[in-house]
Amino acid sequence: MSDLMRVELGERCEIVWDNPPMNVVSREFTAQLRDALARVSNHRGARVLIVTGAGGRAFCAGSDIAEFEGLRGRVAEDKLLLEKLVYRQLAKVAVPTIAAIEGHALGGGLELALCCDLRVASEQSKLGLPELRLGVLPGSGGTQRLARLVGLARAKEFVLLGEPVTAHRALEIGLLTRVAPKGGALDAARGLADIVATRGPLATRLAKRLLDESVDRTLEEGMALELDASEAVFGTEDMLEGARAFAQKRDPIFTDR
């Protein structure tokens, strides 16, 4: 089976999937994405991850509809478990993640982008959850993650109508972080990634986790966890470097200690 994933490891990690023509989430795609995410999570120097699709037509057009016929019994259970595992794996990456969307992000493709912290799309991209048109559900988190981003009313519009929206509309409703010119999503994502990579790495990882967990906690619980995390970063070498750099009017050099 050909390599569907190209992985670049560094402070800025990148996973570029290439499953032409529409970068659909086949069983093989899912297995290779699982392995690519494991490589990033095991890379100690990572500070930010960008995920994107090659080809320019689709970030990802969702589950491989051609595989639906074969989804029976054990095969379906394996696919369900693998897909749920990989989407959760992407959502749980410790460093900030950025989806660079060039072209269609539909169904399971948009659900991959919803697992990321930030989303950049080029202006001709279309984003949607058309699953009900196929008689299936947004089954990789779409009914759960979208409402947390854009609100229940807009999430219901996305799912119940199944009509894709433009990148500018997605930006308006809070689904996107930035809109880039056609062909410019990856460059724009790299620009954001380079900013994220200059921030305190330990504080960044803790802040991401606090933000993610805040939706399921009371304010009191969250404030207590935030205090614990603040205590964890105060006194670290990063905090001392941040204060020194500010006093010396220079950029800090964090060492993640």
Ligand X SMILES: CCCCCCCCCCCCC[C@H](O)CC(=O)SCCNC(=O)CCNC(=O)[C@H](O)C(C)(C)COP(=O)(O)OP(=O)(O)OC[C@H]1O[C@@H](n2cnc3c(N)ncnc32)[C@H](O)[C@@H]1OP(=O)(O)O
Torsion of Cα atoms, 187 then 106 then 40 then 232, to 10°: 90
Is there binding between residue 104 and ligand X (CB under 6 A)?
yes
Is there binding between residue 71 and ligand X (CB under 6 A)?
yes
Is there binding between residue 242 and ligand X (CB under 6 A)?
no
> Exposed (0-12), middle (13-18) or buried (19+): which is 70, by Cβ within 10 Å?
exposed
Is there binding between residue 74 and ligand X (CB under 6 A)?
no
Active site residue 111: yes
Give the nearer residue to ligand X in terms of CB position, either 76 or 243.
76
Whether residue 57 contacts residue 104, with contact meaning beta carbons closer than 8 Å, is answered with: yes
Whether residue 165 contacts residue 105, with contact meaning beta carbons closer than 8 Å, is answered with: no
Q: Of 4, 19, 59, 79, which one interacts with ligand X (CB under 6 A)? A: 79
For 60, the enclosing helix (H) or strand (E) is strand 58-60
Is there binding between residue 21 and ligand X (CB under 6 A)?
yes
Q: Show the site string, 125-164: x = touches ligand X by CB under 6 A, - = not.
A: -----xx--x-x-xxx-x----------------------
Active site residue 11: no
Is there binding between residue 53 and ligand X (CB under 6 A)?
no
**Which tokens sit at 131?**
């699953």
Distance CA 109, CA 63 (A): 7
Whether residue 250 contacts residue 238, with contact meaning beta carbons closer than 8 Å, is answered with: no
Is there binding between residue 62 and ligand X (CB under 6 A)?
yes
Give the residue numbers marked as catalytic.
111, 131
Q: Which residues contact ligand X (rule: CB under 6 A)?
A: 21-22, 24, 58, 61-66, 71, 76-77, 79-80, 83, 104, 106-108, 111, 130-131, 134, 136, 138-140, 142
